[in-house]
Amino acid sequence: MGISRDNWHKWCKTRGKRKPYHKKRKYELGCSDANTKIGPCHIHTVQVQGGNKKYWALRLDVGNFSWGSECWTHKTRIIDVVYNASSNELVCTKTLVNY
């Protein structure tokens, strides 16, 4: 089936059903999430539209963290995942997410 980032298969604002008027296109292509884990740095390069590159972090052990009220930003080592607002399963699997 594949992941697509289109909106023509969704409902209209008036709650009517849209009819698909073309097949899936390359520019509507989506991709699955990276599910970044804690570990030695492993980054995967993905070629995207226009010949550009995106970088998927499959494993990370450092991150750039900011403390806004103190005007403080430092590269810090990630030791463990102790809390995740979206799911406790991500804590158990030690998956890093971006907030």
Q: Mind listing the pLDDT tens digit for each residue in 36-94?
A: 999 999 999 999 989 999 999 999 999 999 999 999 999 999 999 999 999 999 999 99
Residue 2's pLDDT is: 83
> What CATH class is the domain 34-96?
alpha beta
d(CA 20, CA 8): 6
Q: Mind listing the pLDDT tens digit for each residue in 9-27?
A: 889 999 998 888 999 998 9
Structure token pair of residue 98 = 């971006």
d(CA 13, CA 62): 43
Question: Which of 1, 21, 19, 22 is CA-nearest to residue 10?
Answer: 19
Residue 35: pLDDT above 90?
yes
Would you kindly state where each structural domain of the chain is located, as residue ranges? Answer: 34-96
Angle at 40 between CA 42 and CA 54, to 5 degrees: 25
Angle at 41 between CA 56 and CA 31, to 5 degrees: 15
